[in-house]
Amino acid sequence: MIRLLKYLKSMKGSTAAAMFFVVISQAGSLILPVLMSMIVNNGIANEDIDYITKVGIIMMAVSAFAVIVATFNSYFSSKTAANYGKLLRRDLFLKVESLSQRDIERVGTPSLITRCTNDVKVLQDFVLQCLRIIISAPIMLVGGIIMAFVMNPTLSLIIFAVMPVIAVIVLIVLKTVMPLFKRRQKLLDSINRFIREKLTGTRVIRAFNRGDIEDAKFDKQNIEFSSLTLKFQRLMSVLIPVCIVLVIFALDLLIVFAAKDIDSLDPIAERLALENSIGNLQAFVVYMVMIVYSFTMAAAMFVIVPRARISAKRINEVLDLEATVTDPASPVLPDESKRGTVEFRNVSFGYEDSGKPTLKNVSFTAERNKVTAIIGGTGCGKSTIVNLITRFYDVTEGQVLFEGVDVRDMLQSELHKRIGYIPQKAVLFSGSIEDNLRYGDENASEERMRLALEISQSSEFVDKLPEGIKSFVSQNGTNLSGGQKQRLSIARALTREADIYIFDDSFSALDFKTDSKLRRAIKENITATVIIVAQRVGTIIDADKIIVLDKGEIVGMGKHGELMESCSVYQEIYTSQIEKGG
């Protein structure tokens, strides 16, 4: 919580204004009962209309001033809370962007979404309530007690007898509520994870007719979340009424005792010109009502603070997370004489908690103007090699050299701007086709984009669209076929004039004819290093170098003809796909 106060310091102008106006507003509220008692004591008792009018005008002016001040407080507190949420979301987003894939997997994408939305909203509401309630409640409570003590010190002591009882009740409820809210937030993470998984897999669910089963699973989690929320709300709904009943009970006692001694005067009250104990008692009761109201707000505060504390802890867990992949203190620029060269030197790598290495002692070199292909069975480490080149992960042992420099000694931004990356799963963003192409290079010329479309074999369907390159692409390209999405994903990478292009199984949705035409166009038009990860032999059969992986190790390296003579694993893959698969 304390760390997150730095955001309020950055908005010290609006924060200070909100606090100033809430103090002034409460001061006005504390003056009004005194003015009211003066009217009763000096005006009504003496039938002095002029005095009543004069003090009444002052009361109206104070009330109007209090309303104006409260309006300013509402404006500045809302502004502060909104800006607080904006800054916190921004820093969380930037932090998540700086994390490696391993760091994101450690927290979990659904949990990160919850922390960037729900938990930030909880803290934003906390700041708003702080500037409106948590500051005003103590002022009203302390001010009400002081003014009540001025009116009648003896009777005011009764209120102190109730406070320890309320404090015990609040502590009991607080101790119960904190674990409940913590569990509630974890359940919300789980529900978000479940919804995300079901929405992305909705076609599979329908195809296997599992809708009813998945609905039942969701209902179970949803009911558990609702039950926990209801339990949390029931506890809090008991706290506030109990506090109010206790204070009202104390107020009833005060009135009973005051009625027995209504003609007595306190010396302090006399100095305040409260010459009639009826006016004195009336103001005293109003201050007691203020105390009741401040207790109600204080009880509400005990609902807000535990929630904010847990949300703050969850947000701090992300903000305090140390990225496992970071930029070096003294970055090294690539060696231009080795442009496009990628070298693996005795690289080993294992995923966290995997129990065994994914890659073991992998060494190879990919050269400029040549196609290097990587093939192997599922789970052999093909995509892991791509992740290490792009430095989504860091090697466990060995080195990955990009243009003669260890990727750990380069700025990540410098590395990524030299790479054209086509992921295994084609991802497109909502907007036009042109917007998606410019994602590769926002300053790309029309000629470069047209060339990228032609090489990727996308122009044949883009030109048929009513608006051509300006045609709209829905989120994740749901208005396009799998092959069209994959070709546009390739075109996006080719729009960037990179030193190396990495195709991570990016031809899987293409038919053999389109696959062949695309590879031929790449060879004829691209003067850069090309790395192709594939499972189909037909995709990599013409590569300059084919690397065969099996269980994380290189078991063969060479051209197609060489591997057919020397590598049994490659022979098995070829036989299963070409001779048996046709």
Domain termination site, one of 262, 293, 319: 319
Structure tokens at 466: 């009513």
* Domain-embedded: residue 326: no
**Does residue 89 register a pLDDT over 80?**
yes
**Does residue 424 register a pLDDT over 50?**
yes
CA–centroid distance for 325 within its chain: 20
pLDDT class of 510 with cuts at 50, 70, 90: confident
Structure tokens at 298: 């204080």
Cβ atoms of 284 and 155 within 8 Å: the answer is yes
Nearest in space to 89 (alpha carbons), one of 106, 125, 113? 113
Choose the weakest-confidence range: 24-28, 109-113, 139-143, 236-240.
236-240
Average pLDDT for 536-562 = 90
Which run of H or of E encompasses 204? helix 202-207
Q: Which range in 10-24, 88-102, 212-226, 557-571 is most confidently predicted, on average pLDDT?
A: 557-571
* Domain-embedded: residue 541: yes
How high is the pLDDT of residue 276?
40
Looking up residue 109, the CATH number of its domain turns out to be 1.20.1560.10
- Verify that 305 and 175 share a domain, yes or no: yes
Instruction: Report pLDDT digits (tens) over 200-239.
Output: 677 677 766 777 887 888 888 888 888 877 877 777 677 6
* Domain-embedded: residue 9: yes
- Verify that 302 and 358 share a domain, yes or no: no
Structure tokens at 113: 């979404």
How high is the pLDDT of residue 274?
37
* Domain-embedded: residue 327: no
Tell me the three state secondary structure of residue 419: strand
* Domain-embedded: residue 484: yes
How high is the pLDDT of residue 409?
93
**Does residue 484 register a pLDDT over 80?**
yes
> What is the CA angle 389-394-399, rounded to 5?
70
- Verify that 308 and 363 share a domain, yes or no: no
Domain termination site, one of 319, 351, 369: 319
Looking up residue 419, the CATH number of its domain turns out to be 3.40.50.300
Strand spans (E) along 297-402: 342-349, 359-366, 371-376, 397-402
How high is the pLDDT of residue 255?
64
Instruction: Report pLDDT digits (tens) over 251-276.
Output: 676 666 655 555 444 444 443 333 34
- Tell me the HSE value of 289 on the side-chain side, using a 13 A CA sphere: 9
> What is the CA angle 512-509-478, rounded to 5?
145
- Verify that 234 and 278 share a domain, yes or no: yes
Tally helices (H) and strands (E) across the chain: 22, 12
- Verify that 73 and 119 share a domain, yes or no: yes
* Domain-embedded: residue 324: no
Instruction: Report pLDDT digits (tens) over 455-475.
Output: 999 888 888 888 888 988 887
- Verify that 291 and 367 share a domain, yes or no: no
- Verify that 297 and 390 share a domain, yes or no: no
Distance CA 119, CA 85 (A): 10
Number of domains in the chain: 2
- Give 288's contacts (C-beta < 8 A, 6+ positions apart): 144, 148, 159, 247, 250, 251, 254
Distance CA 82, CA 129 (A): 12
Residue with the bigger pLDDT between 357 and 273: it is: 357
* Domain-embedded: residue 67: yes
- Verify that 413 and 474 share a domain, yes or no: yes
- Verify that 363 and 279 share a domain, yes or no: no
The phi, psi pair for 543, rounded to 5°, reads -65, 150
Average pLDDT for 355-374 = 90
Q: Which domain holds residue 364?
A: 336-579
Domain termination site, one of 319, 347, 381: 319
- Verify that 279 and 366 share a domain, yes or no: no
Average pLDDT for 160-173 = 69
pTM of the model: 0.68
What interhelical angle do 153-200 and 136-151 show, nearest 10? Answer: 170
Cβ atoms of 490 and 547 within 8 Å: the answer is no
* Domain-embedded: residue 454: yes
Instruction: Report pLDDT digits (tens) over 120-162.
Output: 888 888 888 877 777 777 777 788 778 777 766 766 666 666 6
- Verify that 466 and 497 share a domain, yes or no: yes
State the average pLDDT for the chain.
80
- Verify that 280 and 345 share a domain, yes or no: no
